[in-house]
Structure 1
Amino acid sequence: MPTLTHFDAQSQAQMVDIAAKPHTHRVAVAGGYIAMQAATLALISTGQARKGDVLGVARIAGIQAAKKTSDLIPLCHPLPLTRIAIDFDEASVHHPGVCGIFCRATVETVGATGVEMEALVAVQVALLTIYDMCKAVDKSMGIHGVHVLQKQGGKSGGWQIANHEIQR
């Protein structure tokens, strides 16, 4: 059975030693969605939200969050990120009667550890930014289904969730 790597032999929290790990190209993709009222989605889609370009601001927030992940997650290594892409899709929330926006974050580095945490933090903060910018008109919004969709690189190679459509 695998062991938790963030604990030493005395069960004390530790930052994992990655000094001996080879530097490889690593990619992680995470996703999640924010559910909202149809009228809120219409405000965002038509650019009529009072606070401005909601998705543009959320995209920048997600990028900033990925870069600051090690400041937020105590045992996360600071990484030199080579690419961060934040994409939004209004059409990908497939639940009957649910309106929303799906966010996908793709994060890349060349390093000794993966970027799953950076992708997850980017999605969460991008969706929280949408919530913050729209909460005056829709207090019922909710963030759902944030998870890693795929990763590439490192010792374990590539991994992809079998069918992430059902996770949305």
Structure 2
Amino acid sequence: MQNFSEDVRSPLDSPLTHLNDRGEAMMVDVADKAITKRTAVAGGQVRMSLGTLEAILAGNAPKGDVVSISKIAGIMAAKQTANLIPLCHPLPLSQVSVELTPDRELPGFQIRSTVTIKAETGVEMEALTAVSIAALTLYDMAKALEKSMQIENIRLISKTGGKSDFQELGNRE
């Protein structure tokens, strides 16, 4: 099931922002935008067997501390987003957090990243990149235990501080 904000607009409602007048790719000029505090929260999950989850939590994964390494990888990835995704602005991030929460009902881990900056542009891509790489690292660190793990539901949960704030419908408070 997809959740959409009431503020969803068709891409056809406005001109393409990453193309110049010759139709060539370009990075958007954000120099005239206001510097504001901007925060983005992204989430996702890694589904696995309960046995794999218990082995990770007990510290019995062959590659070591799965949770700590996955958190560090997510933080490092957020800082490298402009090198990974074309046309993203390199940004001096103020704060990046990555949380991996065990979920025995899934079973697996819920992953959540929060990224904050004071700048002219938002940090949605940084938060999404942090979750994606944390999930991929968790998979890599635990694949000797189980190769059938599934990375699921990576999405933007919220963003604030820019021209258009967003809150996932299921996460409105």
Tell me the distance in 2 between the aligned counterparts of 1:10 and 1:63.
Answer: 37
Tell me the distance in 1 between the aligned counterparts of 2:171 and 2:44.
Answer: 10
- Paired residue for 2:29? 17
Tell me the distance in 2 between the aligned counterparts of 1:88 and 1:63.
Answer: 12
14, 21, 33: which is aligned to 2:45? 33
Tell me the distance in 1 between the aligned counterparts of 2:22 and 2:144.
Answer: 49
TM-score normalized by the length of structure 1: 0.90
Tell me the distance in 2 between the aligned counterparts of 1:128 and 1:164.
Answer: 24
Q: Which runs of 4+ in 1 moved over 6 A?
A: none
Tell me the distance in 1 between the aligned counterparts of 2:41 and 2:16.
Answer: 23
Tell me the distance in 2 between the aligned counterparts of 1:5 and 1:89.
Answer: 37
Amino acid paired to 2:82: S
1:136 partner SS:
coil
RMSD: 1.5
- Paired residue for 2:61? 49
Amino acid paired to 1:70: A
Identity of aligned residues (%): 47
TM-score normalized by the length of structure 2: 0.88
1:164: Cα distance to partner? 4.8
87, 92, 117: which is aligned to 1:75? 87
- Matched residue pairs, number? 160
Superposition map of 1:1-150 within 5 A:
1-91=13-103, 98-150=106-158
